[in-house]
Amino acid sequence: MTPIQTIGIIGAGTMGNGIAQACATSGLHVVMVDINEAAVQKGIATVSGSLDRLIKKDKLTAAEKDAALARIKGSTSYDDLKGAQLVIEAATENEALKVKILQQLDTMLPANTIVATNTSSISITKLAATTQRADRFIGMHFFNPVPMMALVEIIRGLQTSDATHDAVKALAEALGKTPITVKNAPGFVVNRILVPMINEAFFVLAEGLATPEDIDAGMKLGCNQPIGPLALADMIGLDVCLAVMNVYMAEYNDSKYRPAPLLKEMVAAGWLGRKTGRGVYSY
């Protein structure tokens, strides 16, 4: 399989522009596509600002920034993706939208192009089945903020070929990331462990065992976590945490994934975390 040198990215939002930055600073050419020019330019401006912060920290030179930006081509047309050996779909976490994009890609990409999805929850096997390249389809779950986070979960659908897995794993390593290989299952590995832990923190809070500050301090100091589970929930969004628990409950049909009543109550109140100014904590 030809080494991957040009990457297509669908979506110039938080994840898309982060992936674009990681690829461009590693010397790869990137075509970043979004629905309109404003979204594309916003994505490129975000990358530019992120690279400026690295220059301030002496982790990058101005010349390296210019070279990285020159490797990113913004576009509103899928036709510009034809030269990519790998296209990563990083659109909103909505199954119908992803299927629509994947089927559109099928009609215009060469047969040997690998397509990856950056989904954090949707079944890779199920998405692969909607494409005409199921053996060349794979999950590539980056973590936010992409330029800083070393982990990439590489998720094999039932249909994913060894050659596809190996090419994508090699690419993740070329980006300076540490990939882990995961079978397809709801939540994959990290979120499967992380979100139930956050849910349990809400049970502990509701039972009045400790204050939010003490729960978070306990997990930070006792488990060496950089941020406590309740502060992390506020950062992720309580509505997102609840949605993930509901998926686990539906898919696994196991009561250990029952969402904490307090989590449901706070979401009902519109206290979703940082994005609304109030969650477990006030912002």
The catalytic site residues sit at: 120, 141, 153, 191
Main-chain dihedrals φ then ψ at residue 250, nearest 5 degrees: -70, -40
Amino acid 58 reads D
Q: Regarding beta strands 178-183 and 137-142, do their DSSP bridges make them parallel or antiparallel, or are they unpaired?
A: unpaired
Structure tokens at 84: 């990519």
Contact 281, 275 (CB under 8 A): no
Structure tokens at 234: 């506020």
Q: What three-state secondary structure class fits 139?
A: strand
Which residues, at least 6 apart from 18, have a Cβ–Cβ distance to it below 8 Å?
50, 142, 144, 145, 146, 147
Half-sphere exposure of 245 (CA within 13 A, CB side): 25
Contact 40, 9 (CB under 8 A): no
Main-chain dihedrals φ then ψ at residue 12, nearest 5 degrees: -110, 15
Length of the chain: 283
Amino acid 153 reads E
